[in-house]
């Protein structure tokens, strides 16, 4: 396994995404969704392998979860268009550049969940820079 590989592990029981990044087969970063109960989060952390030889091996470890490999890390344009609240672009781009790949993927894949959360509660959408700076995707956004 060469290069950077990023996996989104979705807990079907808790409906949240956890992102694991592996560089040359070794764990190099992660981002956890904030919706898992404390005990489940602790169990998940104990289960994360430090090294992975293949995507299939990760799927076997997290057999009760959905494991998806993300081949490409979204660039800022993809994030900006998916977030779709066009305000303070330069500040959002600066924040994006300061993030690691696993954080970028987690921020990107949780946009729809965040949108559903604020829509259900009648809340205003944060500017993209605030969504990134506050790491909003890690909050408990419900189901």
Which domain does 127 fall in, by range?
Answer: 76-138
Q: Please give the tally of structural domains in the chain.
A: 2
- Whether 97 and 123 map to the same domain: the answer is yes
> Would you say residue 25 lies in a domain?
yes
- Whether 106 and 49 map to the same domain: the answer is no
pLDDT tens digits, one per residue of 38-74: 888 888 889 889 988 777 888 888 888 888 887 668 8
- Whether 52 and 81 map to the same domain: the answer is no
Decide which of 70, 100, 118 is a domain's last residue.
70
What confidence score (pLDDT) does residue 63 get?
83
Q: Are 55 and 69 in contact (CB under 8 A)?
A: yes
Decide which of 12, 36, 70 is a domain's last residue.
70
Decide which of 38, 54, 70 is a domain's last residue.
70
């Amino acid at each position: 396994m060469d290069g950077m590989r990023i996996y989104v592990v979705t807990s079907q029981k808790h409906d949240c995404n956890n992102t694991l990044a592996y560089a040359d087969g070794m764990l190099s970063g992660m981002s956890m969704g904030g919706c898992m109960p404390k005990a489940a989060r602790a169990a998940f952390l104990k289960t994360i392998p430090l090294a992975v030889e293949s995507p299939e091996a990760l799927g076997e470890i997290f057999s009760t979860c959905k494991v998806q490999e993300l081949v490409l890390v979204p660039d800022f344009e993809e994030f900006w268009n998916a977030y779709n609240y066009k305000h303070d672009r330069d500040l959002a781009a600066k924040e994006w550049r300061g993030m690691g790949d696993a954080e970028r993927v987690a921020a990107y894949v949780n946009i729809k969940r965040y949108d559903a959360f604020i829509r259900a509660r009648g809340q205003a959408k944060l500017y993209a820079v605030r969504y990134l700076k506050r790491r909003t995707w890690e909050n408990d956004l419900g189901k």
